A and B are shown apart, each in its own frame.
Chain A
Amino acid sequence: MTKQHSGSSTGCGAQFLAARENPLCMDLVTRIKYRFAAQDWPWHLERLRKLNYRAAVVGPQGSGKTTLLYELLEHFRGSGIACHHVFLPRDRASYPGLLEQAFQKSRADSILLVDGMERLNLSERWNLLRMTKRGPGLVVNRHRACRFPQKLPTWLKTQTCPELMSQILKDLNLDAPVIQSTGAAAFAKSNGNIREALRDLYDQFSSGRFNEILAR
């Protein structure tokens, strides 16, 4: 995950860093891999299998739930396991169609991966659990553990820490002390929400604050 930076943007001076040169642009940030606090993918996949592929990823905002679900999707596809991913956006207008499509896929023997289950209302959640009960699996993202863990046990709890933020910046080749300390401050300001902290840092890069460091 490397990207060369000119450091001085597109001829617009030191006060400005073009979006395409920002080391925290979405293209690079989405390549960051999920880091397990303990164990590795084979171990966690085996645990998920023992849960009959029916489980929840639980964690606060910006703790890696979506990243984890996308990687799970890749693992399933790489292993030839049929799966269908549904991202529930904030715009609720598209939900009925998305869920109906998801149920059809589930009936067609695909494990459903639902990102953003907390955006469903109680009745929709109940319906999702009921409609997929006989299907091959349901893995969801949510902020809190399921009220009825026997229906959807927690597979993984995602969490963040300052060391994780630091390591992510290192992975992005942003190891300079001033960037690390700014990252730590952004992490604290966002109450551990790494996505928000990275967006905060993006703005600081775009202002040209770190152009000199990037040019080195």
Chain B
Amino acid sequence: MIEISLNQTPPEYRPGDVISGRVVWTELDEQTTSLETRLIWFTEGKGDQDVGVAISIPAKLTAPEGNLPFEFSAPTRPYSFSGKLISLIWAAEVVLFPSREGKRKQITISSTGKELVLDKSHKDSALKSAMRVSS
């Protein structure tokens, strides 16, 4: 069994903030040889999914039980956002190898720490804000 936890609640971060937490594993089978702790983003919505790995920290497993702290620096882009058609979601995740089983905790990254909401009323300003950071 594998779990991932974050030190900060709510998990809202600004670019440059430290995203820290801990990975805990118990009763892993002998075939599991390594794990990776990652900071990823992915999209959800009407179209095909897209995924990006911002930071990846591999680690070899030497015991069936253990824990490992992790620390990432929150990237400057892209911001977490949601519209009708697409949401961009950041997450800290841990993946076991070779099974590729894992756990994930969603977070938000933006200038305010909150997810940008692209509804009609402030779509333009929110989008411009996200674009400025991305460019």
Contact between A12 and B48, CB atoms less than 8 A apart: no
A26 touches B84 (CB 8 A): no
- Docked-complex contact B45 and A10, CB < 8 angstroms: no
Out of B48, B49, B84, name the residue touching A17 (CB < 8 Å).
Answer: B84
Task: For B119, list chain A residues within 8 Å (CB).
Answer: 12-13, 15-16
Please, what's the 1-or-0 string for B94-135, where 1 marks a CB less than 8 Å from any CB in chain A?
A: 000000000000000000000101010100000000000000
Nearest Cβ on chain B to A2's Cβ, whole angstroms: 15
Instruction: Please report which residues of chain B, range 35-52, place their CB below 8 angstroms from some CB of chain A when the two chains form the complex.
Output: 44-49
Contact A20 B44 (CB under 8 A): yes
CB distance from A204 to the nearest CB of B (A): 11
In contact, B117 and A25 (Cβ under 8 angstroms): no
Task: Chain B residues near A132: list those with CB within 8 A.
Answer: none
- Chain B residues near A20: list those with CB within 8 A: 44-45, 82, 87, 89
| Interface class of chain A by DSSP | loop
A115: shortest Cβ distance to chain B, in Å?
14
Are B117 and A11 neighbours in the complex by a CB distance under 8 Å? yes
Residues of B close to A27: CB separation below 8 A:
44, 49
Q: Which of B45, B83, B115 is within 8 Å of A25, CB to CB?
A: B45
B10 to chain A, nearest CB (A): 13
Contact A25–B82 (Cβ < 8 Å) = no
Q: Is A199 part of the binding interface, using a Cβ–Cβ cutoff of 8 Å?
A: yes
B117 touches A19 (CB 8 A): no
| Nearest Cβ on chain B to A58's Cβ, whole angstroms | 24
Residues in A neighbouring B49, C-beta threshold 8 A: 26-27
User: In the bound complex, what is the Cα–Cα distance between A174 and B47 (angstroms)?
Assistant: 20
Which residue of chain A has the shortest Cβ distance to B43 in the bound complex? A19
By size class, the interface of chain B is 10 to 19
With A13-B119, A16-B119 known as contacts, the answer to whether A199 contacts B83 (CB < 8 A) is no
Q: Check A26–B82 contact: CB distance below 8 A.
A: no
Q: Is the CB of B48 within 8 A of A19?
A: no
Chain B CB within 8 A of A22 CB: yes
Report A-chain residues with C-beta under 8 Å of the C-beta of B117.
Answer: 9-12, 18
CB neighbors of B among A168-202 (8 A): 199, 202
Residue of B whose beta carbon sits closest to that of A11:
B117
Residues of B within 8 A of A18 (CB): 82-84, 87, 117
Interface centre among B46, B85, B121 (most CB of A within 10 A): B46
B28 within 8 A of A: no
The reply to whether the CB of A206 lies closer than 8 angstroms to some CB of chain B is: yes
- Answer whether A19 and B86 are a contact pair too, CB < 8 Å, given A26-B46, A27-B49, A202-B46: yes
CB-CB under 8 A from B46, the residues of chain A are 19, 22, 24-26, 199, 202-203, 206
B contact residues vs A (CB 8 Å cutoff):
44-49, 82-87, 89, 115, 117, 119, 121
A-B contact pairs, 15 of them (CB 8 A): A10-B115, A12-B117, A15-B119, A18-B83, A18-B87, A18-B117, A19-B46, A19-B86, A20-B89, A26-B48, A26-B49, A199-B46, A202-B46, A206-B84, A206-B85
The 10 closest A-B pairs by CB, nearest first: A19-B45, A20-B87, A18-B82, A206-B84, A12-B119, A19-B87, A20-B44, A25-B44, A12-B117, A16-B119
